[in-house]
Structure 1
Amino acid sequence: MTDTISRKIVSANILCTILIVCLHARYEYNGVYNIIGTLSDIAVPVFFAISSYLYFEKFDWNNPITSYKKGIKKRIFSLLAPYLIFSSLGFLIFTSKAMLKHEILPCDISSLKDVLVYICFAKGNPPLWYLTSLFEFVLLAPIIGYVVRTTKFSFVLIPLSVCFCHTLSYSNIIFWLPVLIFGCYCSIWWSYILKVFRDINSLYVSCFGILILVFICISFNDIIDRTIPVYYIYRISAPVLFLAIMGRFDFTPPILFKIKNYTLFIYCSHSLILFFLFPIIKKLPYNFLIYIISVVFLLLVSVGIGILVKSRCFRLWRILNGGR
């Protein structure tokens, strides 16, 4: 992997993390906020495509069993440990709030089983589903890799898998199989991709990608049901559009690269911070300016907490940030 590709991946990771925050920080869902939601929906498929690409970039095909075991052990620390901690924090926050306000408890705290189910399914911090799905991908990754490696024409599996996966649950890893195959294909057959597109002007491709993305976001400005097949195709196509755009342009301001080591922490903590932020927002005259301020404030608070934890207890920070 070249330095250019590495920087593009870091840039995409930062932008997609911010888009996730933008998606969940919305208090209203009509008009411009719906367009923001549609644009932000590219984040998760791009995350999965990048994760797939990086996994297979580091996978040792000459020693697959050892590489597979090593990958699982690494993800237990980098994915499952933060998942359990931030899910437990969600449980503590929602339970404490319910007890203080004499509301119905989120689960029966006298039942260890109910508490464990609540934590294991991250009911107090829903965005964490992505971490467990990513771990499921690691378990299935070699199967995807070996199939894609068989032929450079394995890209046909992407549209074929769309036909069978679009009816599945959003949190089901197989739902994201097309983008996982795409990421794998880019890693294994990158030289072939470059050969095919070597004579195509990247500026034209990037501009075309931007136009398509803008058109889609405007077309879906009043969408309510995001489970329809055409929207699934948009989700699955997002990494391709994103790659086409990022191939020529870099929309990440240099200052944002300072948060590159905090993206996972932002992702895991933003929902919990929003729990405290939303009651304040509801008391304000909600408009687009307030929305932007809340997004910026949320990012600053999350990064600020991360910096504080990192400076005071580096070992704890390593665990919370998955060893990154």
Structure 2
Amino acid sequence: MEEIQFRNKIIWFTFFYSLLVIWVHSYNAVLFLGSTRLGYQMDWLERLLGNTASQIAVPGFFLISSYLFFRGFTIEKLLVKWKSRMKSVLVPYVVWNLLYYLGYVVGSRIPYLSEVIGKGKVPFSLSGAWDAVLNYTYNYVFWYLHQLILLILLAPLIYMMMKTWQLGCLFLGGIFAAIYMGGYLPFLNLDALLYYSFGAFAAIHGKQVAEGKWNRGRFYAGAALLAAAIFLYGFDFPGRLKGEMAASAVCFRLLTPTGLWLLAPEGLLIEAKDWMKQNFFLYAAHFAIVRLVNKTGALLLPSVPAIPFLLFLFMPVLCVVLSYQAGRLLRWLLPPLWQVVNGGR
């Protein structure tokens, strides 16, 4: 595909994954209906979407981030890549965590708003700020960026493993075997390492496949990967090892984004609109919007089952609208700050 089509397809997929991530964090049935039978039934319905289909979002982000990092990569470009990611990932990670911390500190001292926040009076201290940055304490969704930063630091090692396809296949197989056997690494999630390494492998050895022009063969390959993902999601691996269910879920979360990429014809994707391009800002801001809307709604709106479910369904639309308008306002009033919180995008 042409470069402009490739970039447009990347925007479409990151926007799609952003919507799925919002659903992952939008559960509200028990919050509205309490610990009742109806509340748990509604919760099950919401989690059917948020805990199954939507869980492909973060693996999809890892795959795209890795592919773009290692696309055309050589070891001589490492410092340039690191410098770029410092601006687009590390600095926004620190700034957003501090902003969330300050938001909780201030909000917890404002009448009524403190009830919505529900954390008591959050202390303001240097140690609290440090904890907020280091452990993403007040912005849980930034676990992804925390993992991504670690993976970017490991880029030279991953590149060495992926440089030849034989060693790359062995490395990927070894990670999957460790997941299957219930292994773990300190600080780094094994499944995140698998997704990121697979993206690197695709960028180094599979560019013709990943960026090839869409045709019937790609459609069939994508459909086959989706079918395999659905089958493996509930597959009972033999041996009954500790990590067998994790391995099944990892297969689903790796194969589904890959299959969807092959299925989607780039020629039919219209040029992405401006409101689809603020995906980093949307990802960073959506958690505050979701929490504020759901908790405020639970306090003020009647406990009618349709209300939390409709809020859940339309939360991505609400988050896109609010974050886009906030982004436009920030771009207009404080362009330098906008560049920071949107990762220079």
Aligned partner of 1:230 in structure 2 is 245
Q: Does structure 2 conserve the Cα–Cα contact (< 8 Å) formed by 1:45 and 1:239?
A: yes
Instruction: For 1:266 and 1:277, locate their aligned partners in 2 and report how far apart those are by CA, in whole Å.
Output: 15
Q: Does structure 2 conserve the Cα–Cα contact (< 8 Å) formed by 1:147 and 1:154?
A: yes
The Cα offsets for residues 22-63 of structure 1, whole Å up to 9 and x where unpaired, read as 1111214313532332111111111111111111114234x2
Aligned partner of 1:35 in structure 2 is 49
Q: Does structure 1 conserve the Cα–Cα contact (< 8 Å) formed by 2:161 and 2:167?
A: no
Higher mean displacement: 26-35 or 8-17: 26-35
Aligned partner of 2:334 in structure 1 is 313
TM-score (norm 1): 0.82
Q: Does structure 2 conserve the Cα–Cα contact (< 8 Å) formed by 1:82 and 1:322?
A: yes
Q: Does structure 2 conserve the Cα–Cα contact (< 8 Å) formed by 1:14 and 1:256?
A: no
Q: Does structure 2 conserve the Cα–Cα contact (< 8 Å) formed by 1:155 and 1:182?
A: no
Provide the secondary structure at the position in 1 that maps to 2:44. coil
Q: Does structure 2 conserve the Cα–Cα contact (< 8 Å) formed by 1:11 and 1:250?
A: no
Q: Does structure 1 conserve the Cα–Cα contact (< 8 Å) formed by 2:175 and 2:190?
A: no
The Cα offsets for residues 248-293 of structure 1, whole Å up to 9 and x where unpaired, read as 2259974864333200000001111223211233235243333222
Aligned partner of 1:82 in structure 2 is 92
Q: Is residue 182 of structure 1 aligned with residue 198 of structure 2?
A: yes
Q: Is residue 168 of structure 1 aligned with residue 184 of structure 2?
A: yes
Counterpart amino acid of residue 21 in structure 1: I
Task: Name which of 131, 154, 176 aligns with 1:140.
Answer: 154
Q: Is residue 97 of structure 1 aligned with residue 107 of structure 2?
A: yes
The answer for unaligned runs of 5 or more in structure 1 is: 221-226
Deviation at 1:7, TM superposition (A): 3.0
Deviation at 1:317, TM superposition (A): 0.9
Counterpart amino acid of residue 245 in structure 1: L
Q: Does structure 2 conserve the Cα–Cα contact (< 8 Å) formed by 1:265 and 1:302?
A: yes
Higher mean displacement: 156-165 or 230-239: 230-239
Deviation at 1:144, TM superposition (A): 0.8
Counterpart amino acid of residue 281 in structure 2: F
Q: CA RMSD in A?
A: 3.2
Q: Does structure 2 conserve the Cα–Cα contact (< 8 Å) formed by 1:41 and 1:235?
A: no
Aligned partner of 2:128 in structure 1 is 114
Q: Does structure 2 conserve the Cα–Cα contact (< 8 Å) formed by 1:23 and 1:36?
A: yes
Counterpart amino acid of residue 42 in structure 1: I
Instruction: For 1:17 and 1:267, locate their aligned partners in 2 and report how far apart those are by CA, in whole Å.
Output: 6
Q: Is residue 11 of structure 1 aligned with residue 12 of structure 2?
A: yes
Q: Does structure 2 conserve the Cα–Cα contact (< 8 Å) formed by 1:264 and 1:321?
A: yes
Deviation at 1:6, TM superposition (A): 3.1
Instruction: For 1:94 and 1:199, locate their aligned partners in 2 and report how far apart those are by CA, in whole Å.
Output: 50
Pair 1:108–1:245, CA change in 2 (3 A)? closer
Deviation at 1:170, TM superposition (A): 11
Instruction: For 2:150 and 2:28, locate their aligned partners in 1 and report how far apart those are by CA, in whole Å.
Output: 32
Deviation at 1:106, TM superposition (A): 6.2
Provide the secondary structure at the position in 2 that maps to 1:137. helix
Counterpart amino acid of residue 248 in structure 1: L
Provide the secondary structure at the position in 2 that maps to 1:247. helix
Counterpart amino acid of residue 242 in structure 1: P
Pair 1:170–1:200, CA change in 2 (3 A)? farther
Counterpart amino acid of residue 246 in structure 1: W
Q: How many residues align?
A: 309
Aligned partner of 1:262 in structure 2 is 278
Pair 1:199–1:260, CA change in 2 (3 A)? closer
Q: Does structure 2 conserve the Cα–Cα contact (< 8 Å) formed by 1:309 and 1:316?
A: yes
Deviation at 1:182, TM superposition (A): 0.8
Percent identity at matched positions? 21
